[in-house]
Chain A
Amino acid sequence: MRKNYKLFLVLLVVSFVLTVLAGCVNSSDKPAQETVSDAKKGETDSKGQDSLAAQQEEPYEFDWVFAWMRELPPENDPIKQVIEKDTNTKFNPVIIPLNEYAEKVQVMIAGGDYPELIQFIPGMDWKTLAEQGAFIPIDELLQYGPNLQKIIPEENWNLVKMKGKIWGVPLLNVLNPSQLFVRLDWIEELRLGDGWEDKLGEENFKTIDDFYNVLKAFKEHKGATYTCSGIGGLSPLFGAFGVIPVSDFYIKEGNEVLRVTQHPRMKDALAWVNKLYKEGLIDPEFITNKQEQLNNKALEGKTGMLYDIWNLPFRLEVQHNIKEIDPNAKWVRTNPPKGPEGHVYLRGDSRVMDGVFMISSKAKDPKRLIQFLDYLIDGKGYEVSQYGIEGTHFVRKDGKIEFTEEGKAEWVAVYGKMRHIWDPDFWYAKYDKYAENLEDAAMENPVLPNVAEAFTPGPIWKQYGADLNRYEQEMLLKFIIGEEPLDKWDEYVKTANEVYHAQEISEEIIEGLKADGRLN
């Protein structure tokens, strides 16, 4: 018995020692950190006399959590120091990889003391948390963010409205990643079109017949198809009919707000896409393709038209040396076809893309956070956070920008969260000739707005929404590949309404938009 006691005691002691050990490490960690930040503080103080920091206020300390999946900034990151000096802040960036972002942020918030400034990425539910009091509405604080008000358009503010209040600062991104690409060398070789091909990228295909003829010729002479990844990749085809094959997508026509998946034009679009599919002009693997397959299909000449991310030519040329496989291959961006009623859309507008910055209800002085974001969105703050420090990361030579070796590092853009826009000088310096695609992407993108983007889900949607979406996507796919004839369209709409409550969901969503102050 006594021996057992002894053992128990020893166990206790060991566990105690471990705890103390852990404690020691904690406490020995801290002073080290403090010395570093003290040193930094000293630096900023000595330099920062001419800026905002010269104000009498203490630097505002806060934690800032955001998603970033690329290279991490180095330890004594100079860009952070510049931002801190200019905004008179001391921020502690919590940088979380994208895939685990939602989970980690949720856990942090549930844990009680969460960062003051939090990025919410698409798909994360800030609305429930806001209702529970985790964040504050910022309507009154916006007076401290004149640039935010000036630069962020109405449509983006709409996404962060709930119950008539603005709950966060939406991130702005006008660089649309997906594009429609075509093999220009084939169009020339096969003598397609009657002049429009010279203007590809500037002018639309005149009609959907032009589009069809190109695909048909590609199929006949090259054995190539239209390809993409997923049903959304067919958007340019549906766009010609003024619809997008996406659920919970609403368009406004006159005074009516309509669900596109039930729109009569959707039926026309499906009929046309089904015709293309039946004739083998669309890749039968379009629904399962991943990025890698798209690359390979483009490389091997199995596709002549491709809906893909904007940097496709770069990937094919630099990463895959397409010139060695096919020296003539020339992929160019093109606009989507124009439909019978004059509709031209590349895809649905997606403003929610980068997410929104929410401000914790425990923030010591929320006004300072708004000022911080206001600095990042324009002028020097924008430049520093996107491209780095002039002189260190890039230089201006006769009005042209050149990135230095340091400026080529990935992490330089880590704080560039607020705005992604087309800056020709910088983008051409960064991407050389490939920037053209980005320019096209940013400049001429006919996208169909979704009036219900990021709507607040109501009880009916929460119960039936996911099932309805699944049903609609399934049926759209069946109509496209011809597994269900289009005669069943009315039956499909009826089932959606009766079994999956589509009608009620639509009503609920529209009412929700009105209640949030987004729709009159």
Chain B
Amino acid sequence: MIKQTTEEKIWEIVIYFILIVIAIVTLFPFLYVLLVSVTPTVELPNVSKNILYFPKQVDFTAYNQIFQTDTIPQGFKISLFITVVGTLLSLLITVLTAYPLSRKNLPGREVLLFMIVFTMLFNGGLIPTYLVVKSLRLIDKIWALIIPSLVSAFNLIIIKNYFLTIPDSLEESVKLDGANDFVILFKIMLPLSAPMLATIALFYAVGYWNSFFNAILYINNTRLYPLQVVLRRILFSATGDLILDIETHKASMLAVRMAVIAVTTIPILMVYPFLQKYFTQGILLGSIKE
């Protein structure tokens, strides 16, 4: 162990302090949401008086109200499907596009890249996109929630640039051993890119999980609505409109709103710990000497 100087120690304390503050700031909203969602209605006025109010009693009425109907499990199934299938397909297609683009000997590479970057800045707009989806006969199909957003140009560029950082010599050496492009991609490049793939997978998964407007736009059949759309309905039906069904609205709006937020965020939050181990993994450990 190298002995730390006082200065280093102070720095360490400062750094830890800053990190802890950031952690608290990040965690605070989650805690707030969870607490409010289980606060009984009698205690709700206290919520606005305190920064963080711990209810004396825990009350799950708001959650009961949300899970009252079968539309939630149905929406959950749809969301799960588009998240899992969508993320896998997106990763596959994005990698298959990014890898050739990262090879400097690909003819027309610049032009292709330009065309891809172009879509990051300009797009056809709402109605033309709708028309394309419609003419592909995807309206009212679950695939309309996946295919139009299959490849994100931004993620593609990230993957491409990551591939570029992997030394050419590595590829050359494998080629000498007789590997073809697919072997190189799947056996060499991808295993080396685990942290990057985990990040991109997360981007895609969160994107699919949160997909909302596409569903509104392309889906007419209410049975195909993903969780976000279904939950938002509950959110709005909980706000006082003209007709209110007494039986189903015993919880207060605020608690319901928070419970909805909890239900939408927690499942996708649970993905993070599983991907985290890839973030810390070392890259290119001992694979090359230069």
Chain A positions within 8 Å of B, measured between CB atoms, are 1, 3-4, 6-8, 10-11, 14-15, 18, 22, 25-26, 29, 63, 65, 69-75, 92, 94-100, 103-104, 107, 110-112, 173, 175, 177, 291-292, 295-296, 299-300, 309-311, 314-315, 318-321, 324-325, 408-410, 413, 420, 430-432, 434
Closest residue of chain A to B175 (Cβ to Cβ) is A3
**Min CB distance, B279 to chain A, in Å?**
29
Closest residue of chain B to A113 (Cβ to Cβ) is B134
Interchain CB contact under 8 A, B45 and A434: no
Instruction: List 14 A-B residue pairs with CB atoms under 8 Å apart, sorted by A's residue number.
Output: A1-B107, A18-B89, A25-B143, A69-B236, A72-B222, A107-B217, A110-B127, A112-B134, A296-B44, A296-B48, A314-B244, A319-B252, A409-B69, A431-B244
Give the residues in chain A near B127, CB-CB below 8 Å: 107, 110-111
Interchain CB contact under 8 A, B237 and A70: yes
Cα separation A410 to B246 with both chains bound (whole Å): 10
**Min CB distance, B261 to chain A, in Å?**
15
Q: Which of A94, A98, A103, A431 contacts B220 (CB 8 A)?
A: A94
Interchain CB contact under 8 A, A11 and B213: no
Interchain CB contact under 8 A, A311 and B244: yes
Give the residues in chain B near A410, CB-CB below 8 Å: 237, 245, 248
Asked whether any CB of chain A lies closer than 8 Å to the CB of B289, the reply is no
Give the residues in chain B near A100, CB-CB below 8 Å: 213, 216-217
Give the residues in chain A near B248, CB-CB below 8 Å: 71, 408-410
Asked whether any CB of chain A lies closer than 8 Å to the CB of B55, the reply is no
Closest residue of chain A to B255 (Cβ to Cβ) is A319
Contact of A7 with B100 at beta-carbon distance under 8 Å, contacts A25-B141, A107-B127 already known:
yes
Q: Render B214-250 as a binary contact track against A, CB cut-off 8 A, 1 for contact.
A: 0011001011010001101110110111111111111
Cα separation A18 to B136 with both chains bound (whole Å): 13
Give the residues in chain B near A15, CB-CB below 8 Å: 93
Interface SS majority for chain A = helix
**Min CB distance, B137 to chain A, in Å?**
6
Closest residue of chain B to A68 (Cβ to Cβ) is B233
Contact of A22 with B240 at beta-carbon distance under 8 Å, contacts A7-B181, A408-B245 already known:
no
Asked whether any CB of chain A lies closer than 8 Å to the CB of B71, the reply is yes
Interchain CB contact under 8 A, B42 and A320: yes
Give the residues in chain B near A291, CB-CB below 8 Å: 239-240, 253
Q: Which of A7, A94, A319 contacts B253 (CB 8 A)?
A: A319
Closest residue of chain B to A75 (Cβ to Cβ) is B223
Q: Which of A73, A97, A173 contacts B233 (CB 8 A)?
A: A97
Give the residues in chain B near A29, CB-CB below 8 Å: 141
Cα separation A112 to B131 with both chains bound (whole Å): 9
Asked whether any CB of chain A lies closer than 8 Å to the CB of B117, the reply is no
Give the residues in chain B near A74, CB-CB below 8 Å: 70
Give the residues in chain B near A92, CB-CB below 8 Å: 220
Give the residues in chain A near B244, CB-CB below 8 Å: 311, 314, 431
Known: A6-B180, A11-B97. 13 other contacts (CB 8 A): A71-B69, A75-B223, A97-B233, A99-B236, A100-B213, A107-B127, A110-B127, A296-B45, A309-B240, A311-B240, A410-B237, A420-B242, A420-B243
Contact of A98 with B236 at beta-carbon distance under 8 Å, contacts A71-B71, A111-B131 already known:
yes
Interchain CB contact under 8 A, A96 and B233: no
Cα separation A11 to B137 with both chains bound (whole Å): 23
Give the residues in chain A near B71, CB-CB below 8 Å: 71-72
**Min CB distance, A458 to chain B, in Å?**
26
Interchain CB contact under 8 A, A72 and B233: yes
**Min CB distance, A312 to chain B, in Å?**
8
Cα separation A6 to B99 with both chains bound (whole Å): 13
Interchain CB contact under 8 A, A110 and B130: yes
Give the residues in chain A near B48, CB-CB below 8 Å: 296
Give the residues in chain B near A434, CB-CB below 8 Å: 246
Interchain CB contact under 8 A, B222 and A432: no
Interchain CB contact under 8 A, A97 and B236: yes
**Min CB distance, A456 to chain B, in Å?**
24
Cα separation A432 to B251 with both chains bound (whole Å): 18
Interchain CB contact under 8 A, B245 and A430: yes
Give the residues in chain A near B131, CB-CB below 8 Å: 110-112
Give the residues in chain A near B205, CB-CB below 8 Å: none
Asked whether any CB of chain A lies closer than 8 Å to the CB of B105, the reply is yes
Give the residues in chain A near B220, CB-CB below 8 Å: 63, 65, 92, 94
Interchain CB contact under 8 A, B137 and A26: yes
Contact of A177 with B249 at beta-carbon distance under 8 Å, contacts A107-B217, A111-B127 already known:
no
Cα separation A462 to B69 with both chains bound (whole Å): 45
Cα separation A499 to B236 with both chains bound (whole Å): 40
Interchain CB contact under 8 A, B181 and A14: no
Closest residue of chain A to B247 (Cβ to Cβ) is A408
Cα separation A331 to B193 with both chains bound (whole Å): 65
**Min CB distance, A319 to chain B, in Å?**
4
**Min CB distance, B250 to chain A, in Å?**
6
**Min CB distance, B79 to chain A, in Å?**
15
Cα separation A299 to B254 with both chains bound (whole Å): 14
Interchain CB contact under 8 A, B182 and A10: yes
Give the residues in chain A near B70, CB-CB below 8 Å: 74
Q: Render B239-279 as a binary contact track against A, CB cut-off 8 A, 1 for contact.
A: 11111111111111110000000000000000000000000
Cα separation A300 to B44 with both chains bound (whole Å): 11
**Min CB distance, B116 to chain A, in Å?**
14
Q: Render B31-55 as a binary contact track against A, CB cut-off 8 A, 1 for contact.
A: 0000000000110110010000000
Cα separation A469 to B233 with both chains bound (whole Å): 32
Interchain CB contact under 8 A, A69 and B243: no
Contact of A430 with B41 at beta-carbon distance under 8 Å, contacts A14-B93, A18-B89, A69-B233 already known:
no
Asked whether any CB of chain A lies closer than 8 Å to the CB of B96, the reply is yes
Closest residue of chain A to B150 (Cβ to Cβ) is A18
Contact of A71 with B254 at beta-carbon distance under 8 Å, contacts A325-B42, A408-B245 already known:
no
Closest residue of chain B to A354 (Cβ to Cβ) is B242
Interchain CB contact under 8 A, A11 and B250: no
Give the residues in chain A near B45, CB-CB below 8 Å: 296, 299-300, 320, 325
Give the residues in chain B near A420, CB-CB below 8 Å: 242-243
Q: Which of B96, B141, B213, B222 contacts A26 (CB 8 A)?
A: B141
Closest residue of chain A to B215 (Cβ to Cβ) is A100
Asked whether any CB of chain A lies closer than 8 Å to the CB of B200, the reply is no
**Min CB distance, B121 to chain A, in Å?**
22
Interchain CB contact under 8 A, A14 and B96: yes
Give the residues in chain A near B19, CB-CB below 8 Å: none
Contact of A432 with B42 at beta-carbon distance under 8 Å, contacts A22-B147, A97-B236, A98-B236 already known:
no
Interchain CB contact under 8 A, A69 and B141: no
Interchain CB contact under 8 A, A97 and B232: yes
Q: Render B138-161 as a binary contact track against A, CB cut-off 8 A, 1 for contact.
A: 100111000100000000000000
Cα separation A398 to B200 with both chains bound (whole Å): 66
Contact of A319 with B250 at beta-carbon distance under 8 Å, contacts A110-B130, A408-B245 already known:
yes
